[in-house]
Structure 1
Amino acid sequence: MKKFWNWVKNESGRTLHLDGVIAEESWFGDEVTPKQFKSELTNESGDITIWINSPGGDVFAASQIYNMLMDYKGKVTVKIDGVAASAASVIAMAGGEVHMSPVSMMMIHNPMTIAFGDAVEMEKAINMLSEVKESIINAYELKTGLSRTELSDLMDAESWFNSKKAVELGFADEVMFVNKSESDSPEEGIIYSKMAVVNSFLHKLPQKEEKKGTDITILDKRLELLKY
């Protein structure tokens, strides 16, 4: 059976390398795989280290992994070496300690789904997404101590944090490969949102351009961007 996880044993205990999309083939609609993962997790004891490099995936699969790691009796240390985005950021919150590489990123955003049907079905989908968002905020709130309103706003904006900003906000505990004095430096971390980046780019476009007697407005340029 294909598995997206890979346990490695070493002198310091067990290490889990969680790479790639969460729920790709193995988890979606599979009732056996979660049980198998839990069986492997609890088959041995001791401290474990979870390395994460994932763009995210299925939020319910991520919730299962989060719960298993939170319930694990040994110490769980999460290390992000690439990106912990979307559902992968939820898993990261299960770490008793979360360490991020200086070149890693974390991204949080609102849950998404595909819905089909009439207005009633659309309303059901909206309500479901709202409840899923609240459940995700539960994990972020427990780790960061930020207010639910702050977290909701960060998710609305599809926020990206570099390692220093993640530590500043409480999503991570320290930056790897730097000494304590450097990590405590007054230099601020960086946070940006997808919306801010798009708006910043669009504002740099000329408002009107003359070409062979025809006005090409910024709206025309936005439509061209959407084609790509």
Structure 2
Amino acid sequence: MKRKFWNWMEDENTLYLDGYIAQESWFGDEVTPKLFKDELVSRKGDITLWINSPGGDVFAASQIYTMLKEYNGSVTVRIDGIAASAASVIAMAGDTIEMSPPSLMMIHNPMTIAFGEASDFEGAIEMLNQVKESIINAYELKSGLSRVKISRMMDDETWFNAKKAVELGFADKILYQKEKVENQGGGEPPILMDSYMFDKRTVALNLASKLEKVKPEKKSPAIQAEKQLDVAGLLNAVREIVAEELKGKVDVESLRKRLDLLNKTTKIWR
């Protein structure tokens, strides 16, 4: 028997989208457009959609996104765990998007597997480019960010927490957070969540920037020269790894370079 991924409450229409998104169900626990539609068309009134999904098939996600946009009531999307990849596209269909404080959102470029001759691979590249543009349509419509900025964020596989998602326009509200009030009574101000965004390029370039500012300790000229060579070599290693990441190259040699980079970093900061 297939496990239902929804749960319609008696007093309210509440849906839990939890799991991998696919066109067809192979293991009985995937979220498919057909199963989703069968339940959605029978509903009336406003609905709340909770999302915790790593993503999946972008075409299936596009269908579910469109179903939600066409729904005849208000749709509130709430992210309680993660809305990554294709799941983040579905989230954009919400009239209101709310995120739990520890939840995350991730956007990246679409991926596929291709087989054949050169023309087949050229066709796959063109298809991926068009799919990316279609995904940007959903992000742009919700966030209001420029297509260029969204494209770069997808290139970098960008992760952001609830506050950053609200800042960027990918979400509207953080759940359970009290409204900001002026601290009129004195004392300690309320603690607010930090805005946080992670992508591979930014982290690597920030590390490179810090390394450029490293100064050897004032010891003997020989030790200073050795430390300076270590920093220069480390910078080159960081730049090489960044270049490989941007090309999508992750293999045994790349992992070896990362371990070597970690060892060198430890040596410099001892």
CA distance in structure 1 between the partners assigned to 2:84 and 2:121 by the alignment: 26
Structure 1: gaps spanning 5 or more residues: 209-216
Partner of 1:211: none
- Distance change >3 Å, CA 59–CA 226, structure 1 → 2: farther
Q: Which has more helix, going by share of residues?
A: 2
Amino acid at match of 1:189: S
- Structure 2 counterpart SS, 1:111: coil
How large is the RMSD of aligned CA atoms in angstroms? 3.1
Give the greater-gyration-radius structure (CA): 2
CA distance in structure 2 between the partners assigned to 1:54 and 1:24 by the alignment: 15
TM-score when scaled to structure 1?
0.81
Structure 2: gaps spanning 5 or more residues: 182-190, 212-226, 231-235, 241-251, 260-270
Partner of 1:6: 6
CA distance in structure 2 between the partners assigned to 1:201 and 1:27 by the alignment: 43
Partner of 1:74: 73
Q: Does 1:224 align with 2:256?
A: yes
Amino acid at match of 1:40: E
| CA positional deviation for 1:141 | 0.7
TM-score when scaled to structure 2?
0.69
- Distance change >3 Å, CA 223–CA 159, structure 1 → 2: closer
CA distance in structure 1 between the partners assigned to 2:150 and 2:39 by the alignment: 33
- Distance change >3 Å, CA 18–CA 200, structure 1 → 2: same
Q: CA-to-partner distance for each residue in 1:150-169, whole Å, 9 max, x for gaps? A: 11111111111110000000
Partner of 1:190: 196
Give 1:1-228 correspondences, 5 Å limit.
2=2, 5-11=5-11, 13-23=12-22, 25-26=24-25, 34-181=33-180, 189-197=195-203, 222-224=254-256
- Structure 2 counterpart SS, 1:7: coil
Q: CA-to-partner distance for each residue in 1:9-54, whole Å, 9 max, x for gaps? A: 142x1111111111185189xxxx5344213101120111010011
Amino acid at match of 1:193: D
Amino acid at match of 2:170: F
The higher-RCO structure (CA 8 Å, 6+ apart) is 1
Q: Which has more strand, going by share of residues?
A: 1
Amino acid at match of 2:130: E
- Structure 1 counterpart SS, 2:8: strand
* Count of paired positions: 212
- Distance change >3 Å, CA 132–CA 221, structure 1 → 2: closer
CA distance in structure 1 between the partners assigned to 2:253 and 2:40 by the alignment: 52
The answer to whether the 8 Å contact 2:65/2:92 transfers is yes
Amino acid at match of 1:111: P
The answer to whether the 8 Å contact 2:110/2:131 transfers is yes
